[in-house]
Amino acid sequence: MKITPGSPVLALTMRRWILAAALACAATGTAVAGPTAGSITGAVSWTGPIPEAKPVDRSSDPVCAATARGAEAVVVTDGKLRDVLVRIKVGGAPAAAAPTTPAVIAQSECMYAPRVVGVIAGQALEIRNLDATFHNVRGNALTKVLWNLAQPKGAAPIVRDLAGRAPGDVVSLHCDVHPWMAAWVVVSDHGYFAVTGADGAFTLPGVPPGSYTVEAWHPTLGLKTAKVKVKKGKPTKVRFTFAAPPAAAPAP
């Protein structure tokens, strides 16, 4: 099939490029570098046996079943861990105003993408349905249901105001029609955060010189922390390593 100017294929391809750029921006904070600022950079690694990406039974919906997808609770590529939100600890860096543009999560191939995003307190969240099927979007703060909204095929994006969520909160997203779908929105009071992709890498730019506690949070594996000291105009490197939790001992 040729992609020609004005063709539906070209239009769809361009929309996907634009969406990819938007999602990349949504996963990263909005800290602005100054002339004396340094940065925090590094990678999140995995040690031990790599979890098997078991196939997900998506047969309940023919649209979802048309594309095979594996479980994404823990995604490891070449020893690097995806979906880790790395940030300076809440309250440990200069606070920032919420951006006027929302963070974006898409429902694509009956999965949330990205699965983890960061927002600044007060920033809105936009959820898009790119699938030719019905989804519902349920947002939870722990066990409290914040909203539960239908999003049929072709529906407008759902935009939710997260102004009531405090720094440190995590909002989880679920689709009750497709129970394998899940995503997480992590609220901070500043823009010094990033979410790892397949390469496990992260960079927090524009960090003022000083001492900080850096957190690395994964929705399945939990939290790790490290102490760092950022110097004027220089990158500070930090690495985190996660592993599968030890198996429970057999009952006597």
Task: Give yes or no for residue 32 having a pLDDT over 70.
Answer: no
What is the mean predicted confidence (pLDDT) over 208-220?
97
User: What φ, ψ does residue 19 adopt, rounded to 5°?
Assistant: -65, -40
- Residue at 251 is within a domain: no
Query: Would you say residue 211 has pLDDT above 50?
Result: yes
Read off the CATH number of the domain in which 55 is found.
Answer: 2.60.40.420
Residue 98 lies in a domain: yes
Q: Quote the tokens at residue 219.
A: 């929705």
Q: What is the mean pLDDT of residues 43-55?
A: 93
**Which two tokens mark 213?**
């506690």
Q: What is the mean pLDDT of residues 136-156?
A: 97
So what's the pLDDT on residue 29? 59
What is the per-residue pLDDT for 51?
87
- Local confidence band at 229 (pLDDT 50, 70, 90 cut-offs): very high
If you average pLDDT over residues 119-141, what whole number do you get?
Answer: 98
pLDDT at residue 31, rounded to an integer: 56
State the total domains in the chain: 1
Tokens of 224: 């790790």
Average pLDDT value for residue range 21-32: 48
Phi and psi of 18, rounded to 5°?
-65, -40
Domain range enclosing 75: 8-243
Token duo for residue 195 = 């979410």
Give the pLDDT of residue 33.
Answer: 54
Any domain includes 252: no
What CA–CA distance (Å, rounded) separates 20 from 206? Answer: 24
Q: What span, in angstroms and rounded, lies between the C-alpha atoms of 16 and 91?
A: 36
Residue 249, in any domain of the structure: no
Q: Is residue 3 part of a domain?
A: no
Tokens of 154: 């072709």
Whether residue 16 is contained in a domain is answered as yes
HSE value, Cβ hemisphere, 13 Å, CA-based, for 50? 14
d(CA 115, CA 72): 9
Phi-psi region of 233 (alpha: psi -120 to 50; beta: other; left: phi over 0): left
Mean pLDDT of 126-139: 98
User: To the nearest whole number, what is the mean pLDDT of the chain?
Assistant: 88
Q: Is the pLDDT of residue 52 over 90?
A: no
Average pLDDT (79-87) is 98
Phi and psi at 123, nearest 5°, equal: -75, 145
Query: What is d(CA 93, CA 242) in angstroms, rounded to the nearest whole number?
Result: 25
* Separation of alpha carbons 117 and 27, rounded Å: 5
Residue 128, in any domain of the structure = yes
- Give pLDDT, residue 19: 46
Omega before residue 114 within 30° of 0, cis: yes
Residue 20 pLDDT > 80: no
